Amino acid sequence: MVSDMSGLEDLFAAALAARQRAYAPYSRFPVGAALRAESGAVYAGCNVENAAYPLGVCAETAAISAMIAAGERRIAEILVVGPGPGRIAPCGACRQRIAEFGAGALVHLADEQGAIETFALADLLPRAFGPESLKT
């Protein structure tokens, strides 16, 4: 669903600020992400490319790593913003990472002007393999 920025201003600002610090000399596609942990704290990240392409880090992964380094473990919601007028969604690997720490998380996709589209993670990654899948 497309919605307004209501209640997401801090996530949007943090994701935009992180995006400005992205290291994307190869793709020229800077991405920023910011997540809200269950505690309410906000953690941001940007993509960091490498000449050896598989070694790059997605913005969502960087934000999740910052949350984990701060001692938190649960994502309540995450916002992703990339270049251009369109909204981008997390790649499959990042969707799986979000599922690890926020199976019920909301995923907000924003364009540079602040238009938001919100999804439940389950809608973006149906039947995800997660920690509960390992329980016997």
DSSP code per residue over 19-41? HHT-B-TTT----EEEEEETTS-
Distance CA 89, CA 1 (A): 14
In single-letter form, the type of residue at position 114 comes to G
Active site residues: 60
* Coil, helix or strand at residue 61: helix
